[in-house]
Amino acid sequence: AQLREYVAIISAMYQDNPFHNFEHAGHVITSTAKLLSRITAPDIMPTDSENDSVDKQLPDHAYGITSDPLTQFACIFAALVHDVDHPGVPNSQLIKEKASIAIVYKDKSVAEQNSVDLAWDLLMGEGFTDLRRCIYQTDSEFKRFRQLVVNAIMATDIMDKDLKEFRNSRWERAFSGNQEEHSDEAANRKATIVIEHLIQASDVAH
């Protein structure tokens, strides 16, 4: 019931824009769910006798995404809220016009940061205690959920040059072949990149 209420309130917080509206959020959710379901290891083609060993390898090849419900929920949650209260114009225009939210967020990922703050403040409200308890139960899970959501939403800002350069350098570091393939740090970095690209693709999918 609290999840339904949260979605209903979020839907009302979307502005009636031609594109960045709640219908768009629905499209992004659908695409995100579809892409999450398609994360596989295509280079592994098991025979019947190899199924057990392949099942054990899949989490490594998917960087833990397919075996982590919290990560999957965070992706869907981010898709739901990523354009909350979007004014319908690019960040560059908000900055040019010196809009109040551009000033608040110091001309950096203005619409995205605004969406994060509004959605998060709502989730932290008294009416969603049980919902939060279903999402995370430890401080570690709370922090990981927060980080996943923020990273995913910020990834939808594809026009910020500094963010683009940072993502490119992280991609190079993760997939250059110089990293230890099975280290937790390397796997987490690769998972982050996969999630960012997944949400970016979903944002323009329809």
Q: What is the mean pLDDT of residues 184-198?
A: 86
Angle between helices 2-13 and 22-37 (to 10 degrees): 130
Highest mean pLDDT, choosing among 38-47, 66-75, 92-101, 174-183: 92-101
Contact criterion met (CB below 8 Å) for 190 and 174: yes
Contact criterion met (CB below 8 Å) for 29 and 37: no
Per the prediction, the chain carries an average pLDDT of: 88
pLDDT at residue 51, rounded to an integer: 53
pLDDT at residue 187, rounded to an integer: 80
pLDDT at residue 206, rounded to an integer: 78
pLDDT at residue 180, rounded to an integer: 55
Comparison of pLDDT for 59 and 13, the residue scoring more: 13
pLDDT at residue 179, rounded to an integer: 55
pLDDT, one tens digit per residue, over 78-136 is 999 999 999 999 999 999 999 999 999 999 999 999 999 999 999 999 999 999 999 99
Contact criterion met (CB below 8 Å) for 203 and 156: yes
Q: Of the ranges 9-13, 40-44, 125-129, which one carries the lowest mean pLDDT score?
A: 40-44
Question: What does the H/E/C string look like for the chain?
Answer: CHHHHHHHHHHHHCCCCCCCCHHHHHHHHHHHHHHHHCCCCCCCCCCHHHHHHHHHHHHHHCCCCCCCHHHHHHHHHHHHHCCCCCCCCCHHHHHHCCCHHHHHCCCCCHHHHHHHHHHHHHHCCHHHHHHHHHHCCCHHHHHHHHHHHHHHHHCCCCCCHHHHHHHHHHHHHHHCCCCCCCCHHHHHHHHHHHHHHHHHHHHCCC
Residue 29: pLDDT band (50, 70, 90) is: very high
Distance separating alpha carbons of residues 175 and 185, to the nearest angstrom:
13
Residues 6+ apart with CB under 8 A from 193: 167, 170, 171, 174, 175
pLDDT at residue 131, rounded to an integer: 98
pLDDT at residue 198, rounded to an integer: 94
Comparison of pLDDT for 143 and 184, the residue scoring more: 143
